Amino acid sequence: MPTDSISLTQESSRLDAWFLTLGNLSHCLWYSPSLSAMLQDFCQILVSKAGYLSVAIDLQQDTQNDVQSDVQSDVQHDSQQRLFRVDADDNRLPNSDFNSLEIALQNGLGTLGLRADFALSPDTDAYQLLHRLAKELSNAILAFSTTSIAASPHSDLQDDVEILVLAMAQSPFAIVITNIQGQLAYCNASFTAMSGYTLEDARDIALLWSTGDGLDEARQSQFLALKPGQQWEGEILSRRKDNSLCWERQIVSPLCDATGKISHLVAVKQDINSSKHQFKEVEQALLLREQALVSSSNGIMITRSDESDHSIVYVNPAFSRITGYSAEEVIGREGRFLVRDDLQQAGLNEIRSALRERREAQALLRNYRKDGSQFWNELHISPVKDASGASTTHFVSVINDVSERVNYQKELEFQATHDSLTGLANRNLLNDRITQAIAWAKRQDQTVALLLLDLDHFKLINDGSGHGTGDIVLKEVARRLSICVRDTDTVARLGGDEFVIILTDLANADEANLIAEKVLAALSKPFQVEAHNMFVTASIGLSLYPRDGENGETLLRYADIAMYRVKEHGRNSVRQFIPEMGVTAISRLNMEGALRRGLDRGEFVLHYQAKIDLRSHKIIGAEALVRWQHPQIGLIHPIEFIPLAEETGLILPLGEWVLAEACRQQIAWQKLGLPALKLAINMSSRQFRQEDLSERVAAIFSATGAQPAHFILELTESMVMQDVESTLVTLRALKNLGVALSLDDFGTGYSSLSYLRKFPIDELKIDKSFINDIHENPDDAAIASAIVAMALSLGLQVVAEGVETKEQVELLLGMQCHQVQGYYFGRPMDANSFANRVQSSLAGERDE
């Protein structure tokens, strides 16, 4: 309830008590049988009726001889005074500081001392009444010193009664006096204003108990059963003269005649309609808040806010449900017991700071239930201010068990950064770990080793025993690799049967070689699958930071080059990258000369990677890929020499050789009885910009006798978008020859859909970067799906390159992609191996 309402109620109660006390005081002064009885009753009435905490009357010693002798047996004696004193029953005086007042009685008779918990300053009504009562008390004391007590005080007291009547008439509270039949004998102006009744209007209405609420008879009996000194206090619903209802607070006391018999009832009334409504609203609001706390699904904990005391004063049922602790077990304890010994949590510092600074805070904490199980608590704390808003008295904490959400987020993060089959780090996490390892090694002046591991002939396991068996073997490989390394190292699966190991904190390269040998030894043990022993070996390429490169991309490329050297020299071994394996094997000047000599000496060969129809899984074509078989270095991949060939212009004769060699191989395969497979040939940007390109291509087909319809020329997005008008002319000229045109690496350039509709393109080839993680990354899957849908809408064939897993195949099939190529179906192979592969496939189809 607001402070103003409380003060009003207290003041109302005090003034009501004064009016009801007047009759008792008058009876005490006029009809007491003795002085001691009068003085004792006078003190008692002021304490019990007027609300004083202590009232005392001190009679001076020289007054003793002037009063009647009956005092001698009733008063308390000491050397200076006779004391009459009454204290309130609650015994608050010794421990409290209250307002006190002493009033000297007239004629040197003594003093009247009072103590109260309300104001006794000279400007209050209580003060004025006390002085007048002191005068009446003096007259009464003097009256007992004469033979007659009827002369002096009565006339003076009669004057004072007139003053009291005026006070009643002018009281801000409604005052009503009725006879014992309830008939109105007196009412003041406040009652008339409140009820609308005048004295004449309501003489025959029993206003004190005729309220129409069904309790009239019971309330009448209560009032008439009151004894002198008793009172009835309560709230009633009264009816005004205009028939409206009004809540009133009413105090009813009996008035007695000289014989002690009740002759009248006096009632003090206060209109509490607005305050009652306000109280009801407050009560309902408090009830609603209490129910909200009890019903909340989140735990609620209220604690003190003292610097040295944050003990719990309240917890709701949800707190007990979440933590397992009952309210009795936690009240008086500090909330930090929920953390136990798990103190190394960043969120705890935020909570401690907020408690010190008395502000709001939020933190995610690991908490522990009564049974020891852990749960994640998203804790919110807020300060609770006092009524003035100046001081923080408590903190309210909201405990939200978010374990399910946190665990789900962790699972999503794990799936985004780990391989779904083996649980190892995937390509995304691998790149991050390489970056971290290099940064740490750079600060500590240490070495990082990167091992690229490819299982030898793993496809035979998949083809011979099924992909289920292959998955079991891959899981076991992952387990053995993890055992071979330390906790600070990282094992990742790139896809298919390729794995990468990052070794950190190495002093030199020899340590990396030892771990690589340990890996080979672990893999050499048989793999038992369904009572069958299988054997798996691996080729491992190794590169080092900082010797071989400053970033992960370079280290992976060099490790891949080293791994291919292992495969070319017998497999099941490890080899470190050396400069001779890459572009730096020959100086720039020597490289250009070596390229020219290689073209003259026929050192270049073509490898073929199968293109598979996704619905039938049949080989329907291949992509021709150039390799350099260097007599000293060995097989060199295009990434190591194509950029220099482009720059020096040697790409033009090399490109023409690739097309011519593919044409010759196509005819040779047809003579062996192979079907006329479509071969895809990559064309460089420098080739494409030749003004007589179509004539050169036509001459090659004419010279070799190959059919243009069996070939696809692959062009990149960036190539065709450089000069659109010129591109259109070249593309139409090539189409007129009968070859098909494919847009390679689609999605990495900036193709305009309007140009795609203009270009005579037959095929879109989705870049490998969008295929790598389509089974793990929703964004890549969405891009691939959009490209397929767009190609279908334009009537184009769609080829996905870089397919390495069964999951990728299934997703692409669902997207209605036409063709795929990648390690899942086979690596690039020489012409003879490819021919054998196609013949085996055809034989299998005939057997079916």
**Which tens digits make up the pLDDT trace of 124-137?**
766 777 787 888 88
Residue 587 has pLDDT above 90, yes or no: no
Going by the DSSP 8-state scheme, the letter that residue 333 receives in this structure is S
Q: Of 42-46, 138-142, 476-480, where does the model show the most confidence?
A: 476-480
C-beta separation of 577 from 564 below 8 A: no
Residue with tokens 């004539």: 695
685 vs 286, higher pLDDT? 685
**Which CATH fold would you assign to the domain 602-844?**
TIM Barrel (3.20.20)
> In the CATH scheme, what is the code of domain 296-406?
3.30.450.20
pLDDT value at residue 151: 41
Q: Where does the chain hold its CATH 3.30.70.270 domain(s)?
A: 418-581
**Which CATH fold would you assign to the domain 418-581?**
Alpha-Beta Plaits (3.30.70)
* Rounded mean pLDDT, 287-299: 73
Among candidate residues 237, 238, 207, 230, the one with its CA nearest the CA of residue 220: 207
For 61, residues 6+ apart whose C-beta sits below 8 A from its C-beta are 80, 81, 82
Phi, psi dihedral angles at 258 (to 5 degrees)? -65, -25
pLDDT value at residue 755: 66
Phi, psi dihedral angles at 457 (to 5 degrees)? 55, 35
Q: What is the residue-wise DSSP string for 742-808?
A: EEEEETSS---HHHHHHS---EEEE-HHHHTTTTT-HHHHHHHHHHHHHHHHTT-EEEEE---SHHH
**This prediction's pTM:** 0.38
User: What tens digit of pLDDT does each residue of 331-345 get?
Assistant: 989 888 998 888 888
At residue 812 the predicted structure's pLDDT band, cuts being 50, 70 and 90, is very high
User: What tens digit of pLDDT does each residue of 663-689 get?
Assistant: 999 999 999 889 889 999 999 888 988
User: What tens digit of pLDDT does each residue of 232-258 get?
Assistant: 888 787 888 888 878 788 888 888 776
Q: Where does the chain hold its CATH 3.20.20.450 domain(s)?
A: 602-844
Q: Of 87-96, 183-192, 718-727, where does the model show the most confidence?
A: 183-192
Chain CA centroid to CA 291, Å? 24
* Rounded mean pLDDT, 610-634: 88
* C-alpha–C-alpha distance, residues 836 and 44, integer Å: 124
At residue 585 the predicted structure's pLDDT band, cuts being 50, 70 and 90, is very low
Q: What residue spans of 198-316 are helical by DSSP H? A: 216-224, 273-295
Q: What residue spans of 144-173 are helical by DSSP H? A: 152-169
How many Cα atoms are found within 13 Å in the side-chain-facing hemisphere of 110? 24
Pairing status of strand 604-613 against strand 819-821:
antiparallel
Q: Where does the chain hold its CATH 3.30.450.20 domain(s)?
A: 174-271, 296-406
Percentage, residues of the chain above pLDDT 90: 21
What is the 3-state composition of the chain as percent helix, strand, coil, each rounded to the nearest 5?
45, 25, 30
pLDDT value at residue 701: 94
Specify the CATH superfamily of domain 174-271.
PAS domain (3.30.450.20)
- Cβ of 648: how many Cβ atoms within 10 Å? 14
Strand, helix or coil for residue 680? strand
User: What tens digit of pLDDT does each residue of 15-68 get?
Assistant: 455 656 766 777 787 777 788 888 888 898 888 877 788 889 888 755 544 444
CATH top-level class for 10-169? Answer: alpha beta
* C-alpha–C-alpha distance, residues 605 and 637, integer Å: 11
By CB atoms closer than 10 A (0-12, 13-18, 19+), residue 839 is middle
